[in-house]
Amino acid sequence: MLRRATDQDFDPLEAMVSAQFGWDPDAESHEREQLRFEADRDYLILDRENTIVGNAGAYSAALTVPGAVLPAALVTGVAVEPAHRRQGLLRRLMAHQLTEIATAGQEPIAVLWASEGRIYQRFGYGLATRRAAMAIESREVVLQSPAVDEGRVRTCSPETVRAELEGLYARVLPDRPGWFTRSERWWTGRLMDPKSVREGASARRVIVYERAGDTGGTVVDGYAMWRMKPGHSQGGPNGEVRVIELVAATTQAYVALWRHLLTMDLTRKVFADFLAVDEPLVHLVDEPRRLRMTVADGLWLRVVDLPAALAGRWYAAPVDVVIEVSDAMLPQNAGRWRLRSDVDGVGTCEPAAGADPDLVCDIADLGAVYLGGTPLGRLADAGRVRELKPYAIRRIGAAFGWHRDPAGFEMF
Ligand SMILES: CC(C)(COP(=O)(O)OP(=O)(O)OC[C@H]1O[C@@H](n2cnc3c(N)ncnc32)[C@H](O)[C@@H]1OP(=O)(O)O)[C@@H](O)C(=O)NCCC(=O)NCCS
């Protein structure tokens, strides 16, 4: 039986889902997950004994897309109990969840982190962001900052600066495709520091970058949360800095925070994950190779309501085209659509049943290009999308691009 969850389902649900990912919840992680849990967005499949054997949930938030911040379903907690796998339970859950999101009509897109990339393409998700990570040899890179440093970096406890952290995150978010809004409950969870996630490193530390405000007082322009993992060898100290998240509204703040982390005494490495592929740090150091940057798949995005999604983002170039889209799971998206955007980048999207298409693609391809991080030309080279009129890929690709690469900033 498939049914919506209630708050009473949380404990057995958490036990089932965590078992599939191989982790054991402790009191703190339990509290954090419970804070985020949205029972009315969670669907369960139960067996004859009423035991939960399948689950798919979602968090409600808004996601930054090119030029806008749109309501989005953050899909999470997807798991099926081993004895019930490969019998179509996930397919049932995905079909139900996407239909419910589409029917509610509030969220034109859904996003998720995939445990394995091969799972979700069949449900119309496309690879929309890439996840960059760095294992920086911190003694081998020197920051070459042209910025004049007028502020200071200060260590503080998150409780005393929570309002500043929240304010700064909200200030930076609209310009970072792939970032999502955090509710008060989400912030409470984010600022918790369960021992189970520390992996042998210290408790979480917080630094802020602040400068004098124009009208007195101080303004926080950046913050970083990080841990230190101490280490010593015959050759001397070789500790590590592990960055949890770094948010900066200005270049000065960005440089000052990175400088602080890269020059920490007794450490020789800095690890950072969930970075953007176009991270400015690459252009700020004298030896980018020693940043040891690696890139993997990031957020997968599903266009749920095609006209609302395409009209909801902005475009980097004017365009007037007809796109023919296939969508096996949500047939209301299938067909021909006319996409137009003006010189300012504002788009409109209308059905165009009788018109000749410029481009043919699947809904998963629209998901891949939607945040501006996957060039349409790359999908064409991979044989996934097809142009039917000259230069369609070039014209539409330019419109869907964006000046900043999207990034999935936080796993959910
Ligand atoms: C991934 C998982 C949820 C799949 O559940 P399931 O009920 O076995 O999936 P279904 O039977 O509905 O499979 C639907 C389709 O996806 C495919 N598929 C499912 N899981 C897959 C996987 N891990 N790798 C490759 N293909 C997979 C199936 O082969 C099937 O393909 P088809 O449509 O061509 O027939 C389940 O294996 C699981 O819980 N894994 C561990 C936790 C996990 O990785 N969760 C995902 C978190 S993002």
- Looking at CATH, the fold of the domain delimited by 2-129 is given as Aminopeptidase (3.40.630)
Q: Average pLDDT for residues 330-347, to the nearest whole number? A: 96
pLDDT level of residue 307 (50, 70, 90 thresholds)? very high
Position 150 scores a pLDDT of 84
Position 38 scores a pLDDT of 98
Least confidently predicted of 32-46, 138-152, 250-264: 138-152
Contact 362, 334 (CB under 8 A): no
Task: Please provide the average confidence, as pLDDT, over all residues in the chain.
Answer: 96
Instruction: Kindly report the backbone phi and psi dihedral angles of residue 205, in degrees, each rounded to the nearest multiple of 5, phi listed first.
Output: -115, 155
Ligand 1 first shell, C-beta below 6 A: 20, 78-80, 85-91, 114-116, 118-119, 122
Q: pTM of the full predicted structure?
A: 0.96
Least confidently predicted of 124-128, 159-163, 309-313: 159-163
Q: Please determine whether the domains at 2-129 and 132-296 fall in the same fold group of CATH.
A: yes
Position 147 scores a pLDDT of 63
| Contact partners, residue 408, CB within 8 Å, separation at least 6 | 111, 113, 129, 131, 178, 274, 298, 299
User: Where exactly are the structural domains of the chain?
Assistant: 2-129, 132-296, 306-400
Report the C-alpha gap between 357 and 386 in whole angstroms. 10
CA-nearest residue, atom 21 of ligand 1? 119
Q: Which CATH number describes the domain made up of 306-400? A: 3.30.1050.10
Contact 278, 405 (CB under 8 A): yes
Strand pairing category for 293-297 and 2-4: unpaired
pLDDT level of residue 196 (50, 70, 90 thresholds)? confident
Q: Which CATH number describes the domain made up of 132-296? A: 3.40.630.30
Please write the tens of the pLDDT for every residue from 58-77. Answer: 999 999 999 999 999 999 99
Mutate which of 17, 86, 93 for ligand 1? The one with the most ligand atoms within 8 Å of its CB, which is 86
Cα 88 to ligand 1 centroid, rounded to whole Å:
8
